[in-house]
Chains A and B, each alone.
Chain A
């Protein structure tokens, strides 16, 4: 059985990518199971999806503990512990990651024993990531080596049928380019084996002890603990205020911000809390004088680093 796990952020199309792969494998005559997994549905929050494919009917269900192929649409997810990108990897596992860092960097950084393939980020504009689902599914289809270009094409046409020809064609171009780009590695993913009753590791079961309610009630005895959750790392786009253009209306951007991440000071000047701004860009759309622009997060961070270096240079 092939076991594929896809990691991305809400809104990047990983559920669609899993469905494209699922449909393509089904067209190739495989029994298929595909499913997304997420908590409360939030744009930018880590999500994963999975696909199983086998020539036999599939009895296995739920999360994939030992994947044969991991697809990471957004490399900023790797350090997020809750995303569990590396859960259950072994030397037979293939990692496909959308990143500008090369595979040697990733191999060393993660001490990853299996094969690594990177999808070079085509553009610095992270808004382009909306096609990353198609790109990932195209590359993955090639790495699996059991999906033809035709099945991939048909799967994309089926899964995106509601979105119109223009969208389908853009996604097809991206997916097929990624498929062709991976040709040298075609078929590098191998089917994983099932765990056998003759050879398995016993689970480390424990009898739960009784604990008094002061410990065992699901309560957090402090106010506003959500402040400690740095949701700013979910952002792929950053809203940046041009204070030359801001008309100090004092209320529009801060009121529309669904996360209360914009504060207005005594001078009617809005300040964005980048620790918690998730990058939904609602403020960008709402600001009447268009004083807020969206900058790719990666670019914004690079600029910050440069600025910090300049500052250091001045000091020394």
Chain B
């Protein structure tokens, strides 16, 4: 075991190597990450015994991953943002094959307008496809949870592909100390892949995607996938227990930080949650009983865990780094649904949207959210959803708009002149 500085990308690559992945289909161009670059280097140097194949798109990459997994080998792949969306059709398809493999997504904002920075709309868009989703908040967690993801995907109670999500820039390019586990121990933990009855082979025809008409068989297959996904909660707990026995680090389905006696709880996914932890500590020093809940699994959704953890909590501030246009934050919607009708549910479930396109969330903003939420509870008033956005930011945006406006005006004037010029001629 070595403790070293690794980026989130490097941590993901190490996990694929330590899990002894056999096959890595990859789309090698933007928005691909250094994950594939690292794996390609290791395979090239003979440090890793695997086959890496470059495909012409993420759509083909996921098809190849599903097809290879159906032959009974261990498959790993990685993508990001637009790439995940380009693969969307096949995400549904391969999950329907019940072919297990692990996919890393480096989450970044989607077009348009174009950005390169961290945002969860890409991964949230993939929440209904049948893949399980693990969300990480540190580079160590990326490594450990990628190893665990192989166990989760390949478990007979699940047998579905799993996405491990890490935030662009905040984790993907950020180096921090990571304990690199012992290779033999990892091999022992992940174990041999038991392909069960999946023996897709050349010259031995089997159909992975049967046509079913009439709705009844379709309903059966879809609901079975749903039940398998739901097993993810208890299987994750089993795998986490085994992981702790091997490596000493423990992971919960729902990370709870200082929630035991908390009156106000932040709910947030991904790497921004560690900033929320600092805010909780500072709020507690200031005498406010604050806490933090962070779902590691978004699919399956840990509804019961939330219900349990939020008993007797007065107010929740959900911070979504995504926006379902026309509805609002996805985590807020899902948490509200999970808490509806619960007798001891919080009085207030406030919705904040922040960190879109990599916008920072400052400690002052965490403090202010706590203040706003506790005031609303005291006055027994509702709180409208809020985008974390400041006057200062709006002023800067107005400057940009002024530039665009001047240009528009210039264009308009020049068109008018051309028209006039034409008339004179």
Contacts and interface: CB of A to CB of B under 8 A. Distances in A.
Interface string B388-410: 11111110000001001001101
B363 A195 contact: yes
Given A196-B282, A219-B404, A221-B404, A203 B277 contact: no
Given A32-B177, A194-B363, A197-B367, A222 B407 contact: yes
Contact of B368 (A35, A59, A203, A221): A203
Interface of A: 19, 22-23, 26, 31-37, 39-40, 58-63, 65, 194-198, 200-208, 215, 218-223, 225
B279 interface: yes
Main secondary structure on B side of the interface with A: helix
Contact of B177 (A26, A201, A208, A215): A26
Contact of A225 (B371, B392, B407): B407
A60 B360 contact: no
B249 to A, nearest CB: 13
B170 interface: yes
Contacts of A220: 404, 407
Contacts of B272: 61
Contacts of B179: none
B365 interface: yes
B250 interface: no
A147 to B, nearest CB: 15
A196 B285 contact: yes
A170 to B, nearest CB: 24
B338 interface: no
B362 A61 contact: no
B411 interface: yes
Contacts of A203: 362, 364-365, 368, 388, 390
A83 B285 CA distance: 36
Interface in B308-363: 358, 360, 362-363
Nearest to B170: A61
B165 interface: no
A218 B390 contact: no
Nearest to A40: B116
B113 A218 contact: yes
A133 to B, nearest CB: 16
Contacts of B384: 207
Nearest to A221: B408
Contact of A201 (B113, B275, B364): B364
Contacts of B389: 205-206, 208
Contacts of B363: 194-195, 197, 200
A197 B279 contact: yes
B286 interface: yes
B174 interface: yes
B390 A205 contact: yes
A60 B275 contact: yes
B277 A59 contact: yes
Contacts of A218: 112-113
Contacts of B174: 33-35, 61
B378 to A, nearest CB: 17
Contacts of A223: 411
Interface string B174-185: 111100000000
A65 B364 CA distance: 12
A63 B272 CA distance: 12
A200 B408 contact: no
Given A37-B169, A206-B389, A208-B389, A197 B285 contact: yes
B81 interface: no
A22 B175 contact: yes
Given A62-B170, A218-B113, A196 B386 contact: no
A194 B364 contact: no
B175, B275, B386, B408 — most chain A CB neighbours (10 Å)? B175
B379 to A, nearest CB: 18
Contacts of A195: 282, 362-364
Contact of A34 (B5, B277, B364): B5
A220 B114 CA distance: 14
B278 interface: yes
Given A62-B360, A197-B286, A206 B394 contact: yes
A35 B392 contact: no
20 contacts: A31-B177, A34-B175, A39-B116, A60-B278, A61-B271, A65-B360, A194-B278, A195-B363, A197-B283, A198-B285, A200-B363, A200-B367, A203-B365, A203-B390, A205-B368, A205-B390, A206-B391, A208-B387, A221-B407, A223-B411
